A and B are shown apart, each in its own frame.
Chain A
């Protein structure tokens, strides 16, 4: 059951005090995170602070060793990982890839490819795509399912600056069109500090004792007035 909240609308996911421990070391810890419909939430943090592990935990791909993750019932999630290794021996074309997890009409596929600017690509094998093109294809693949929540892991990695602006603009447009929540890892602090977004900061853990340092507590910056 989606939870209604007075000011923010419908809650999509909620992580409460989550942490992941690997071989006795906490990858990240003490993270609280909510994403509401139509909301943009950034996850930022230094290299090695566990950003990717954190969103994978929120997605349910990794089990958390403490805390809990809640998903709204029937929530459709679109996930765009940072970079994925694709087997070079698997023959698969761009359009076939759009049908990997569902069956969509040609017109729907066309529309999703057009939304990310790949409509002129034709139907090549995915192994021939450039890094930026492949990233856009992953985004199109996530979009076609009309997700309630879009989760992106540094989507502008490996894309040049102009491309990065266009990509983030595109993600914002999608957010407004679909009214979906967006959870996104970013390393670009300038962008993160813009209004209309929430920020979750991950701080690397030197200590396992929460009292050892108050800095080990992540900051939940609500620098937004949801306008």
Chain B
């Protein structure tokens, strides 16, 4: 069964969506979209890492992305500049350094297009192992920090006074995000990973009453988008990343249409 490239891509995408759903909720709640982009932009530097150190591609990306997370964490406290400027600096710095380093390896045939937009043919059996193993660890870690992370999302100072260490929690969350970016590289690609984090979460927001239900529903929504997008990609031979993102976007538009119609019918009870 795993010999079929489509099944491999599907399993990888499902593993990715399950982790991306809850993490995407925190991106939306805490307005961390640009933080997510910054981590994603460091992925090409990670590819260079992987080639230099002869590591697995995803491990290299995880290492580079984690490095950027730690840099953001340390520099943010210095209060040298506004956070978006800091992220812009790191994001494009990492991207430039990554591209420059990769240009030194002309003999390596790097599928840049695949890295940016995903490639359904690229998922190997080893990738599957890394994604599901890493995904299990990521979910376990997320459950472990769930309570302090939600508390810090509501208000960091309240969480700190309650002894919940919001800084430490934020750092662990960043590393989890780095793991998602690494796992996403072959399925949606670095340019579109933030869309897979954000769109399911905002799609499901109006239908959720608690952080927990929103996280689970975002995972399910993301999963549906991945399955639909991969199917579309296999059928009409399009890059996987854009296909998945478009299906997610379609789900978003349909949900808002449904919401509008529902509200129009029952104005008293929105």
> Which A positions have Cβ atoms within 8 angstroms of B?
56, 59-61, 77-79, 81, 84, 86-87, 89-93, 96-97, 100-102, 125, 138, 141, 145, 151
10 A-B pairs whose Cβ atoms sit less than 8 Å apart in the complex = A56-B157, A79-B161, A84-B155, A89-B29, A90-B154, A91-B208, A91-B211, A100-B147, A100-B162, A125-B209
A97 and B210 contacting across the interface, CB-CB below 8 Å:
no
Q: How far is the CA of A96 from the CA of B210 in the complex (A)?
A: 8
Given A61-B160, A100-B150, A145-B162: A89 and B205 interface contact (C-beta under 8 Å): yes
Supposing A81-B157, A100-B151 touch, asked if A91 and B162 sit within 8 A by C-beta, the answer is no
Structural contact, A61 and B29, CB atoms closer than 8 A: no
* Top 10 A-B pairs, shortest CB-CB distance: A101-B162, A79-B161, A90-B29, A100-B151, A84-B155, A91-B208, A87-B29, A89-B28, A89-B29, A101-B151
Asked if B211 and A92 sit within 8 Å, CB to CB, the answer is yes
Q: In the complex, which of the residues B28, B162, B208, B209 has the most CB atoms of chain A within 10 Å of its own CB atom?
A: B162
User: Contact: A101 with B210, CB < 8 Å?
Assistant: no
Q: Verify B154–A91 contact, CB threshold 8 A.
A: no
> Chain B: which residue is nearest A97 at the CB level?
B154
Taking a contact as CB atoms under 8 Å apart, the answer to whether B154 and A86 are in contact is yes
18 new A-B contacts at CB < 8 Å, known A61-B157, A89-B202, A101-B164: A56-B157, A61-B161, A79-B161, A81-B157, A81-B158, A84-B157, A86-B154, A87-B29, A87-B30, A89-B205, A90-B154, A91-B208, A92-B150, A93-B209, A96-B210, A100-B151, A100-B162, A102-B162
Q: In the assembly, what is the distance between CA of A101 and CA of B155, in Å? A: 11
Residue B31 CB within 8 A of the other chain: yes
Contact of A87 with B31 in the complex, beta carbons under 8 Å: yes
Alpha-carbon gap, A72 to B15, bound state (A): 47
Assembled-state Cα–Cα distance A81/B202 (Å): 29
| Nearest-neighbor residue (CB-CB) of B157 within chain A | A61
Residues from chain B with a CB closer than 8 A to the CB of A151 are 161
Closest to B28 in A: A89
Question: Given A87-B29, A87-B31: A100 and B160 within 8 A (CB)?
Answer: no
Does B159 sit within 8 A of A, measured CB to CB? Answer: yes
Of A56, A77, A86, A91, the contact of B155 (CB 8 Å cutoff): A86
Separation of A60 and B163 alpha carbons in the complex (Å): 11
A82 to B: closest C-beta gap in Å? 11
CA distance A171 to B208 in the complex (A): 34
Chain B residues 140 to 170 lying within 8 A of chain A, measured CB to CB, are 147, 150-151, 153-155, 157-162, 164
Q: A77, A79, A92: which contacts B154 (Cβ < 8 A)? A: A92
What's the nearest-Cβ distance from chain A to residue B27, in Å? 10
Chain A residues with Cβ below 8 Å from B223 are none
Asked whether A91 lies within 8 Å of B210 as measured between CB atoms, the reply is yes
| B153/A87 in contact, CB under 8 A | yes
- The residues of B that contact A92 with a CB separation of less than 8 Å are 150, 154, 210-211
Provided the pairs A91-B208, A100-B150, A125-B209 are in contact, do residues A81 and B160 lie with their beta carbons within 8 angstroms? no
Q: How far is the CB of B202 from chain A (nearest CB, A)?
A: 8
A101 to B, closest residue via Cβ: B162
- The residues of B that contact A141 with a CB separation of less than 8 Å are 158
Does B214 touch A at the CB level, under 8 Å? Answer: yes
Query: With a CB–CB cut-off of 8 A, which chain A residues contact B164?
Result: 101
Interface centre among A77, A86, A87 (most CB of B within 10 A): A87
- Chain B residues with Cβ below 8 Å from A96 are 210-211
Contact B161 A87 (CB under 8 A): no
Residues of B within 8 A of A60 (CB): 160-161
User: How far apart are A149's CB and chain B's nearest CB, in angstroms?
Assistant: 10
List residues of chain A with CB within 8 A of the CB of B30.
87
A90/B153 in contact, CB under 8 A? yes
Q: Mark B20-40, 1 if CB is under 8 A from A, else 0.
A: 000000001111000000000
Residues 29-71 of B, flagged 1 when their CB comes within 8 A of A and 0 if not, give 1110000000000000000000000000000000000000000
Closest chain B residue to A147, Cβ basis: B161
> CA of A80 to CA of B29 in the docked complex: distance in angstroms?
22
- In the assembled complex, the Cα of A89 lies from the Cα of B147 at a distance in Å of 17
For the complex, what is the distance from the CA of A77 to the CA of B158, rounded to whole Å?
Answer: 10
CA distance A101 to B156 in the complex (A): 12
